[in-house]
């Protein structure tokens, strides 16, 4: 069928738990359907592939309209930790692994992962700061080149 999607490149730019998981789930789903998938991490989305950081990602409770509560309540100490714990329990019940394990799993499916060169440089990071599943640090131009002929999804 000529209408089938054959390749997706997913951009993950935010660093909250609820911001990272959609891209990971979409990439995993694409690979399970036999679709070529690439993940491009930029700005705070880089936290998903940073060693020692990706296991500590929390739910953002301040300024998050999806929380359906006043911003001031999200600022109460412990709210982010509580929301993270509740979301983690629900995801665990659905067999959705924690971010570090999910990154490994997706890497094993053949999904390639890339860091944004401009952001890596801006934050003063290097390839050694990232998990081994990250293939390389690339420019936006290289990302577009790699994505040619496929769909680009921004989460």
47-97 tens-digit pLDDT: 999 999 999 998 877 766 776 777 777 777 887 888 878 888 888 888 899
- pLDDT class of 141 with cuts at 50, 70, 90: very high
Distances (CA, A) of 61 to 56, 58, 75, 80, 85: 15, 9, 7, 6, 12
Residue 53 and residue 129: Cα distance in Å, rounded?
10
pLDDT mean over 41-47: 97
* Strand ranges inside 23-121, DSSP E: 36-41, 112-116
- pLDDT class of 3 with cuts at 50, 70, 90: low
CATH topology of domain 7-59+99-154: Hypothetical Protein Ychn; Chain: A, (3.40.1260)
Parse the chain into domains and list their residue ranges.
7-59+99-154
What pTM did the predictor assign?
0.88
Using the CB atoms, write b or e for 72-84: b if 16+ within 10 Å: eebeeeebbeebb
How many C-beta atoms surround the C-beta of residue 13 within 10 A? Answer: 18
- pLDDT class of 1 with cuts at 50, 70, 90: very low
* pLDDT above 70 for 10: yes
Using a pLDDT cut of 90, give the percent of the chain over it.
Answer: 70
**Mean confidence (pLDDT) of the chain:** 91
pLDDT mean over 98-121: 97
């Amino acid at each position: 069928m000529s209408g089938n999607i054959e390749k997706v490149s997913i951009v993950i730019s935010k660093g909250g738990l609820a911001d990272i998981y959609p891209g990971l789930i979409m990439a995993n789903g694409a690979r399970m359907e036999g679709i070529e998938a690439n993940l491009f991490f930029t700005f705070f989305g880089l936290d998903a592939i940073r060693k020692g950081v990706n296991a500590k990602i929390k739910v953002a409770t301040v300024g998050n309209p999806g929380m359906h509560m006043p911003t001031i309540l999200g600022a109460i100490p412990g709210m982010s930790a509580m929301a993270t714990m509740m979301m983690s329990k629900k995801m665990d019940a659905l067999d959705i692994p924690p971010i570090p394990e999910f990154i490994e799993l997706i890497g094993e499916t053949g999904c390639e992962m890339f860091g944004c060169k401009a952001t890596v440089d801006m934050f003063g990071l290097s390839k050694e700061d990232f998990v081994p599943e990250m293939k390389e640090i690339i420019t936006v131009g290289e990302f577009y080149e790699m994505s040619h002929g496929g769909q680009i999804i921004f989460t």
